[in-house]
Amino acid sequence: IDAADAGFGDDAHVSVYETDEEIRVVADLPGVDRDGLRIKCDGRHVTISASTSASEYEERIELPGRVDEHSASASFNNGILEITLDRVDSSANIDLS
């Protein structure tokens, strides 16, 4: 669903910030209640589903690196959703025994 078609217009905005340790996804979702939010992560993508009395909105964001989906934390204040995910190294060190 395109955000414009969902009734959010240009109001919905998603930004992705990254550091060496984590990736943050920040979404501006005006008019959305906490009860209308659903967030999923598969390690490579975050899917944000939001609904209001007037519309539904879903966005799948490709992350710039692999993350540990079990490390995710999220906060939602004044229409701003912030999701923080710990990065996972693309390659793991293998210990020789």
Q: Which top CATH class is 9-87?
A: mainly beta
- Which strands sit side by side in the sheet containing 80-87, from one edge to the other? 13-18, 22-28, 80-87, 67-77
3-class SS of residue 67:
strand
Query: What is the tens place of the pLDDT at every residue in 9-24?
Result: 556 789 999 999 999 9
The pLDDT value given to residue 63:
95
Structure tokens at 21: 């340790």
The whole-number pLDDT of residue 90 equals 62
Strand 37-41 to strand 45-51: parallel, antiparallel, or no bridges (unpaired)? antiparallel
One-letter amino acid for residue 67 of the chain: V
Average pLDDT, the chain: 85
Check residue 15 and give its pLDDT.
Answer: 94
Domain boundaries, the chain: 9-87
3-state secondary structure of 35: helix
pLDDT tens track for 39-70: 999 999 999 999 888 888 899 999 999 999 99
CB atoms within 10 A of CB 3: 19
